[in-house]
Chains A and B, each alone.
Chain A
Amino acid sequence: MRAFLALLRREIAERRLLLAGAALAGLVPLVLPWFPGPAGLSPADLRGGAALGLAAVAVSLLALGLGSTVLAADLSEGRLGFYFARPLPGWAIWAAKMLGALLLTAGSGALILLPSVLAGGTFEVSVFWAGSALLGIPVLLVVSHAVSVMIRSRSLWLALDVGALGLIGGVLWVSCRVLWREGAQMLVVWSGFGFAACLLVAAAAAGLVQVVRGRTDLRRGHRLLSLTLWALLGGMTLGHLAFVAWVFRVAPTDLISLLSVEPAPAGGWIALQAPARWRGGYTPVFLFNVDSGRFLRLPTQGEGYWWSFPDFSADGRRAVWLERLESRTYRVLALDLSGPEAEMRGTGVYFSESPSSLELSPDGRRLAALTGNRLTVDDLVTGRLLYSGEMPGERGPGERLLFLGPHRLRLFASVWTDEPGVPNVWRLTTLDLEIPQRRLVPVSRIELPRQSGICLLSPEGRWAVLHEWSSRDFQLADLESGQAIPLRTSSDPLALLADGRVLLLHREGRRRLVGLLGPDGAETLRVQIPGSRLQVGGFVAPGQDLLVVSTTDRETPGDDRDWTSWLVDLRTGSRRLIGRGMVQATGFPFPRGSLPAFHRILLRRGGELFDADPTNGHLRRVLTLKSPARTTD
């Protein structure tokens, strides 16, 4: 240790002028505000930014320069023998020289920053960049030493170095690209940090072995350095590949913090998406059968929009899914959910961009898509393109598609007119596309004085709840007659049942009531439910008019323990407690369209998914997540 300290002192003393230069350079940002500079920057910002920039450049150059010379230059110029002729252990020579270079580099950076810190400069450095710098400086040092030795030795081992670099770099590039495509972007970032750390360890170990075992022989040192470096990096690359393979062997039981759940309208399949444990934010999408426990992981759609889910057919036996390809096009995959195992196959249907609206026919055979301005209908079984044409009518946000049968597609187009001299109006146009005849038939037109949107849509396409953006008023619209009836509620939650009836929450003083409105807007039932907030499920078992309702007294979201779930009979208004501490997983967190029939999935804090038997309210646990599930409502 005494030898190490002596050499370390010597290394720093020999290059002390670098520190002096850094201290002088640190004064430059102090005087910058006296000169004309970028407008809009305060002196503190200017000082901080300039000091950071100067420090970053200086530290990078010093790390590269010192890393490539402190040992490698002595070795190639035959001066390392001076140290090896003294009672200095090899490790002490390597460690003292590298640590000296590191201290000089970091010290220079600190000396550049110090005057600006004392002068009150503003520094905005994220944890990411601070971590990158902390890791990057030693990585630059040890890697530049390794590269310097490789180049200076001028041996054939350089060919091995280039080959190994290409091989390992290529493998890592491919594996990270796969992670990126699957939406595991954070894993790529963490892989980058991990690999930088591994590179630091490998290059440091290789440099150490080179000095300790290769000693004053440059070529022998190069050989030892290369063998150590590439063996370690090769092992780490294999480890990374194994990790990537493990990441994609994820199962629903590995999920945590459920992000979203979407049950198929019928059958036992649900789609769910959640981050997986120990996988750095990777959030796979699964099809999971609550009856059999079987599952299928879907290829993620690249950007990983967490609200993306398969589009189920009405019978729950088919679904479609978009896979984002390397070429940034989208391939339609058909999912057959009729057997015990979900099967996925390509359909031959591609989109050049992500469709803004996608709709699967009730039998799952046909797919309508709105891509840009083009409306297409494809037969997924035969692969035939049944229709392709411009989206008719005035264009606006919130266009929707809905199959009314295998041969009929209903189109909803809305527009907000904002023309001078003409009263503003929000217009919703409903058209039907007769697919065999390729004919568009106007159905209705609804005009409202304020800008609105389609909030909920009934499965058969007749009823819609419209939401006025500015007033937060709701209207129940009959899309066939073009009539709209104001609803007596001004806030969420509300739900549209499949037959056009509307569920909404009343607040009467301290009482909370669930109201049921008929298609004509008249209230047919009113049920008192304890709790100030309410979440409603869907019909269960058609004809029984049973509804799952979850309520809580908590006004703020986040704590699911206080939720209570009830089974409400919409014919009689009676209610029965079925469980506590659970929220419903229907369209969680955002229901899509009307409440799906046969919805029965409840989610309990602690990460359990339950299936509720609609006839008796019994709960069956179908999936346990790895850690406490965080739910929002």
Chain B
Amino acid sequence: MKKIRIKTSYKFLLVMGAVYLLLAVFNFGYFKIALSSFFSMLERIVPVMFLVFGVMVLVNLFFTEKRMRKHLGEGSGVKGWLYVIFTGIIISGPPYVLYPLLGELKEKGMKDSLLAVFLFNRNVKIPFIPVMIFYFGWGFAVVLSLYIVLFSVLNGLLVGALVKKRG
């Protein structure tokens, strides 16, 4: 018999569905509150998701993985630091997808400090900025993004030095 494999994300959704079903049976009042709050949250998010989609298309159109790889190698200098900040912001994807790629780049000579800078800048995600603005406002999005970029350099220098020191 063929074994059906369900992705973890779908398992999570199924579990949540089951929890809500149980809630509907045992505490219908609470179920109604939670579900209506879920739908009102969804109503607020859906329009922003269309914007996220549009920005994602633009990013995928103009920034390819191949183009990024070219500029991150050893001896890339100041340009490499700037490029790695830019790449960290632009490239999206879950860590389990990015780690193998970064491992490969490390083997090819990418410095620890640059790896740290890349990973720190993952926090600035242009396609998701509309959602951040929606919840926290323009000021917050700008200030936080600027601090992340500034601190990413310090972070890279510190991580690079500490890894080297503990050689």
Check if A and B associate: no
Q: Which B residues form the contact surface with A (CB < 8 A)? A: none
